[in-house]
């Protein structure tokens, strides 16, 4: 998950940083390779913690990542998904966490970590011209010295201006920056992009070459943690280490964590690791033959993700989209431009902007039947529950969808930000090498369908409003079937037909969370407000799985802020 290739070479031999299994070593942690902190998971949170905790040269840190390195992988460096939404867009979400018992996690208490994580570096490229439709935000409202660089891309095509102006023409506020001056409205995203036009995610931004040279920091990839290890001799079980392998049948290795074990696997892997380690619902663990260390019924429960309707494609006029990239030659030239100069279409975001509204009471959304208006599940009157993403090209729903190089179109996607449907993560087997069962339970609650259908109605209104309408060719009998239902007459297509289409095409947005949520009760939550696992000493979970509820936006900034706050709490706890 984004770790340097040099790490792979430096840590190719696990015996250099871990203890291989041997007779008599399984229960004698004094003979294991020992670190002050062992971090499980090298995603955004894990990278932040590794960098921050190793700032003290007297503190030893080991970061174990199950995935491979990103270097040499061209796609992982491209900025397609490097969009950021944070700051004031989460005021009400964070405050709702505090109201639910997460003391210390209100917006004002988390704001310092948000601002110390990012630095705004202005606009990208040479094409920037000030535009009253897309006004600039104030740089001082962003972080000024954080590791993650944010920029405002300047798209080659005009879709951002068209979308924002069209949204304004139907009554939606045009925002300069959803990170600073308002939660509701239409705006282009900031992008986490480096000075060289590369994707600036946490591994690149926090685990810089200078950080990786620290002698007290060890980072290892291709290490799959099979379970956490505990000392059960005290009043409470205490996490003391982890077991891992590099391959399913390979040697077993152990390491000890003298101070704490920090699990940062994400909303799927973190509950999976806890369950395999004996932390979770007793009945589920016993069914899989796993020794119960602590009965924690909420592990893996309350799993949620933002729900997308899929790809709502609209046929566009030639020359208005990026669909020329369907031509292999043009695509190769675009990649070459980005590779050598860090500029061009590949340096932009695949989804450069979005509209955030309230499906329950926004007058800009057409209402055919008042009974179809959803229940308000937001955290406050200024919090959105619906996002409309836009893409300046046609996006196919999956690899099985057939398209043509002649296709010209744009894709919009309605996303339910505060779903009522709740899923769970459970064990398929008692092996870490078998993926867990992910039951997202999407659209189980009818309210979620109502939100998404209202999103489809909003897209129709945008598509029939200038100036966006002039970019489109809304043929009621399209040449290609994937332009349905975008081509349909909004006055004739029913909510039932839209619901049927949504149910067939709905997909996750890969913003999962809440599966090890923070709270005060062992029955309904997994960690306390210090991110410590209930009833277990020396074990914390630090990632999106601890969210009490999903945020009404993209989770990059909140995850980084959670990790920054966790590192501050840990430093305070141990006095460094």
The binding site for FAD comprises 88, 225
Report the phi/psi class of residue 437: left, alpha or beta, with left for phi > 0 and alpha for psi in -120 to 50. beta
What is the spatial distance between Cα 248 and Cα 239, in angstroms, rounded to a whole number?
Answer: 24
Tokens found for residue 475: 């043929």
CA–CA distance, 133 with 137 (Å, rounded to integer): 12
How far apart CA 62 and CA 256 sit, in angstroms, is: 10
Among candidate residues 70, 142, 511, 534, the one labeled active-site is: 511
Q: For 478, which DSSP code? A: -
Burial of 521 (0-12, 13-18, 19+ CB in 10 A): exposed
d(CA 137, CA 130): 11
Q: Are 216 and 10 in contact (CB under 8 A)?
A: no
In contact, 366 and 457? CB cutoff 8 Å: yes
- Residue 27's alpha-carbon distances to 231, 232, 340, in angstroms, are 9, 11, 53
Q: How many residues does the chain have?
A: 576
CB 473 within 8 A of CB 316: yes
Verify whether residue 511 is a known catalytic residue.
Answer: yes
Helix (H, G, I), strand (E, B) or coil at 152: strand
In 3D space, the residue among 130, 427, 126 whose CA is nearest the CA of residue 300 turns out to be 427
Binding-site positions: 88, 225
Q: Which residue has the tokens 């004031």?
A: 88
For the purposes of burial, counting CB atoms within 10 Å of the CB of 328, is it exposed (0-12), middle (13-18) or buried (19 or more)?
exposed
Do the Cβ atoms of 190 and 375 come closer than 8 Å?
no
Residue 464 appears among annotated catalytic residues: no
Q: Are 417 and 552 in contact (CB under 8 A)?
A: yes
Residue with tokens 């949620």: 304
Q: Is-contact 523 534, C-beta < 8 A?
A: no
**Cα–Cα nearest to 566, from 173, 52, 118:** 52
Q: What are phi and psi of 518, to 5 degrees?
A: -85, 140
Q: Please enumerate in sequence order all residues whose Cβ is within 8 A of that of 89, keeping only pairs 6 or more positions apart, or say none.
A: 178, 179, 183, 356, 552, 553
Q: Which residues of 214-238 are buried (b: 16+ CB within 10 A; e: fewer)?
A: bebbbbbbbbbbbbbbbeeeeeebb
The DSSP call for residue 484 is: T
3-state secondary structure of 88: helix
Going from the C-alpha of 254 to that of each of 8, 13, 434, the distances in angstroms are 19, 14, 20
Cα torsion angle, 154, 155, 156, 158, sign: negative
On whether the CB atoms of residues 150 and 192 are closer than 8 A, the answer is: yes
Write out the catalytic residue numbers. Answer: 511, 554
């Amino acid at each position: 998950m984004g770790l340097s290739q040099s790490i792979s070479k430096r840590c190719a031999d696990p015996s250099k940083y871990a203890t291989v299994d041997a007779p008599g070593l399984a229960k004698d942690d004094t003979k294991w390779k020992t670190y002050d902190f062992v971090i499980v998971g090298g995603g955004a949170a894990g990278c932040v913690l590794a960098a921050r905790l190793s700032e003290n040269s007297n503190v030893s840190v080991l970061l174990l990542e199950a995935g491979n390195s990103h270097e040499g992988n061209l796609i992982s460096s491209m900025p397609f998904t490097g969009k950021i939404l944070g700051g004031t867009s989460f005021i009400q979400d964070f405050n709702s966490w505090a109201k639910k018992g997460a003391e210390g996690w209100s917006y004002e208490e988390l704001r310092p970590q948000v601002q110390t994580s990012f630095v705004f570096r202005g606009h990208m490229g040479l094409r920037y011209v000030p535009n009253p439709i897309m006004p600039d935000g104030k740089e001082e409202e962003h972080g000024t010295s954080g590791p993650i660089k944010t920029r405002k891309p300047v798209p080659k095509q005009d879709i951002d201006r068209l979308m924002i102006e069209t949204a304004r023409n139907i009554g939606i506020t045009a925002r300069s920056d959803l990170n600073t001056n308002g939660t509701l409205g239409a705006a282009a995203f900031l992008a986490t992009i480096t000075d060289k036009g590369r994707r600036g995610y946490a591994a690149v931004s926090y685990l810089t070459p200078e950080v990786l040279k620290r002698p007290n920091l060890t980072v290892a990839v291709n290490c799959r943690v099979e379970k956490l290890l505990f000392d059960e001799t005290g009043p409470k079980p205490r996490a003391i280490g982890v077991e891992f392998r590099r391959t399913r049948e390979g040697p077993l290795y152990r390491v000890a964590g003298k101070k704490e074990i920090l699990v940062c696997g994400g909303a799927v892997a973190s509950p999976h690791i806890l369950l395999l380690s004996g932390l979770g619902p007793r009945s589920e663990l016993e069914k899989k033959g796993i020794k119960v260390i602590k009965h924690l019924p909420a592990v893996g429960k309350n799993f949620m993700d933002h729900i997308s309707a899929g790809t709502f494609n609209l046929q566009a006029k030639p020359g208005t989209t990026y669909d020329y990239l369907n031509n292999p030659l043009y695509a190769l030239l675009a990649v070459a431009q980005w590779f050598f100069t860090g500029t061009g279409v590949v340096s932009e975001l695949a989804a450069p902007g979005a509209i955030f509204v309230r499906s329950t009471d926004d007058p800009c959304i057409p209402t055919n039947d008042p009974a179809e208006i959803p229940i308000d599940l937001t955290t406050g009157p200024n919090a959105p529950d619906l996002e409309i993403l836009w893409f300046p090209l046609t996006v196919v729903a999956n690899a099985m969808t057939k398209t043509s190089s002649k296709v010209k179109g744009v894709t919009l996607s309605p996303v339910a930000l505060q779903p009522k449907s709740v899923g769970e993560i459970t064990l398929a087997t008692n092996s870490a090498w078998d993926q867990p069962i992910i039951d997202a339970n999407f659209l189980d609650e009818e309210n979620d369908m109502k939100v998404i259908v209202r999103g489809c109605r909003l897209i129709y209104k945008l598509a029939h409003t200038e100036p966006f309408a002039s970019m489109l060719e809304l043929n009621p009998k399209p040449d290609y079937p994937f332009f349905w239902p975008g081509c349909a007459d909004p006055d004739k297509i029913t909510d039932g037909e839209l619901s049927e289409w949504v149910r067939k095409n709905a997909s996750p947005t890969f913003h999962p969370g809440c599966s090890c949520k923070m709270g005060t009760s062992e029955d309904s939550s997994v960690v306390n407000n210090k991110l410590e696992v209930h009833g277990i000493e020396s074990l914390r979970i630090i990632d999106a799985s601890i969210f009490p509820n999903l945020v009404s936006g993209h989770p990059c900034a909140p995850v980084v802020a959670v990790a920054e706050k966790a590192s501050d709490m840990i430093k305070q706890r141990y006095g460094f």
